[in-house]
Chains A and B, each alone.
Chain A
Amino acid sequence: MTDAVSTVHVRRGAAAAAQGESRLRVIARTAFPFLVVGAMWEITAHAGIFPARLFPTLEEIAAAFWRLTVAGILPRHIAETVLRLLAGFALAAVVGVIIGIAMGRSRRAEDVLLPLVSIGAPIPGIAYAPLFMLWFGLGNFSAVLLVGFVSTFPVIFNTWTGVKAVKEIWVRSALVMGADQRRLFWHVILPGALPYILTGARLGLAQAWRILVVVELLAAVPWGLGWLIFGAREFLNTDVMLAGVAVIGMIGLALEKLVFERLEHYTVVRWGMMQS
């Protein structure tokens, strides 16, 4: 899968760049672009070219963030959004891995499922949203279902590719050495396919994350970051909206750095399937 290749390369490059420089310099270098952009933002906001309501200063955004956090509103929005994301994603991971492995292992399953999956995959998940609302009603159930549905496809495709990419020679040598089907599956095929499965999970989660904000709005859930920013628009609370967008970005970054890089490190990198 080309996606897998590119992520590995990107990370290797970043790691190489970080080496050989002191920590302080790295921090300063990373902070510098943000300072420049932040200063430009401040100048534009203070210059009064745009109405202050629509283009708030950074202090106002920070104040809105602080106000909402202290009031406990923001944490609740975050918790609901993350829960929804995880519930949908868990659904997708379980269903997707099972279908993907079945397709990779059995020719019959592949023949039957591949056309069905290929029909569903090219349609952007967000396009299904109104249909899901119509069929399953507004609220959490259809939001979670839709998020799960959308992230299933990358998981299926990558798991399927991963199972097929397991080297034939490993399978044969395991069989020759007397592994039964169960052992073969747990000790050869699953570890062999895991780098791909993780890539699929990562892509799936990223897709789910990308549409969740809109789904929250369309499904009219009572709490959630998507709801927060779209609701703030009605009252021209641009500061709240931008604070919400910033929080969304931070959660996305945290998911990638804290969840996936760790997971990858504990499994495939440790087994030597992939270099970090």
Chain B
Amino acid sequence: MTSPRTQSIVRGALAIVVVAACYEATARSGLFPRALLPTLPKVAETLVALIADGTMLRHAATTLYRMMCGFMLAVAIGLPLGIMMGRFRPLEKFVMPLASALMPIPSLAWVPVFILWFGLGNTVSILIVFYAALFPMILNSWSGVRAVNQLWLRAAGAMGADEHAMFWKVILPGASPFIITGLRQAFLRAWIAVVGAEMLASSDWGLGWVIYDAKEFLNADVMLASLVVIGAIGFVFERLVFGSLERVTVLRWGMVREAKS
């Protein structure tokens, strides 16, 4: 008898192996041109070669640099703005209509405008990332502050907390589940935006640019290898960075329960 857990792992692994085998069989059958449908060993070889000669690392570093600049800027502006909007009504009334009008515009639609204004290069990518990450950050920190239980505020007030203690001990922890959700959403959007922006606005380095450039030369193996790298970076951030951030803050404080799976 195997436990249900090992059974699911075996089934999952089997599914991946079957899909990989199907892909491999199609690639080898020669139904499609080799350049368009490279075999898996070829993709792995390309990936290893690109990592070994350092180009892939430089591409990834460039992309991460652009993304982090934009993302940090968005957090530095969006988080305080959102919190202040939650605390001060006039600010909320002023910013909310603007935010709801700008939010539905996809960040990538600004790429051509920004290219005209700022020229090709890093600035455009960073600003696009900033635009993409800003709104989830503002909205989530705003709704987090508004969602803080009134009872806690009154209790803290009755127990003599001053403004300073109220903010750091009650409002900020109370809003933290929302803020972390905001960081997560902002990251996801930033990640999409940076790849898209690089395809259109950069001209030498960056993961988005590699994929786009590989199309010109029909290098499907380079494309798939870069996709693997992009997926891996996204996965690492989502699971390791934000997952552990959540564990050491909101889960530990008992603000949210861990999802049962």
- Residues on A lying within 8 angstroms of B by beta carbon are 2-3, 6, 9-10, 13-14, 29-34, 36-37, 50, 54-55, 107-108, 110-116, 119, 122-131, 133-135, 207, 209-214, 217-218, 225-226, 229-230, 232-233, 236, 238, 241-242, 244-245, 248-253, 255-256
Verify A111–B7 contact, CB threshold 8 A: yes
| Segment touching A, from B45-53, B165-173, B208-216 | B208-216
Interface size, B (range): 35 or more
CB-CB under 8 A for A30 and B97, given A115-B15, A131-B220: yes
Residues of A close to B227: CB separation below 8 A: 123, 127-128, 131
Q: Is the interface of B mostly helix, strand, loop or mixed?
A: helix
Which of B111, B116, B185, B234 is the one whose CB lies under 8 Å from A236?
A: B116
Most chain B CB atoms below 10 A, which of A32, A36, A115, A207: A115
Which of B7, B19, B36, B142 is the one whose CB lies under 8 Å from A116?
A: B19
**B245 in contact (CB, < 8 A):** no
**B61 in contact (CB, < 8 A):** no
Verify A213–B106 contact, CB threshold 8 A: yes
CB-CB under 8 A for A119 and B16, given A6-B181, A34-B97, A233-B116: yes
Nearest B residue (CB) for A8? B143
Shortest CB distance B170–A (Å):
18
CA–CA, A245 to B116, complex, Å? 14
CA–CA, A125 to B231, complex, Å? 10
Verify A214–B200 contact, CB threshold 8 A: yes
Residues of A close to B104: CB separation below 8 A: 209, 248-253, 255-256
CA–CA, A108 to B15, complex, Å? 11
**B105 in contact (CB, < 8 A):** yes
Verify A124–B234 contact, CB threshold 8 A: yes
Residues of B close to A30: CB separation below 8 A: 97
CB-CB under 8 A for A232 and B112, given A33-B97, A130-B215, A252-B105: yes
CA–CA, A119 to B109, complex, Å? 28
Verify A245–B231 contact, CB threshold 8 A: no
Which of B12, B105, B112, B139 is the one whose CB lies under 8 Å from A249?
A: B105
- Residues on B lying within 8 angstroms of A by beta carbon are 4, 7-8, 11-16, 19, 36-37, 93-98, 100-113, 115-117, 139-140, 142-143, 146-147, 177-178, 181, 185, 189, 191-192, 195-196, 199-200, 207-208, 211-212, 214-215, 218, 220, 223-224, 226-227, 230-231, 234-235, 238, 256
Verify B143–A2 contact, CB threshold 8 A: no
Shortest CB distance A119–B (Å):
7
Shortest CB distance B256–A (Å):
8
Verify B36–A245 contact, CB threshold 8 A: no
Verify A245–B212 contact, CB threshold 8 A: no
CB-CB under 8 A for A54 and B116, given A33-B97, A127-B230, A214-B108: yes
CA–CA, A255 to B104, complex, Å? 9
Which of B19, B191, B199, B220 is the one whose CB lies under 8 Å from A214?
A: B199
CA–CA, A229 to B106, complex, Å? 13
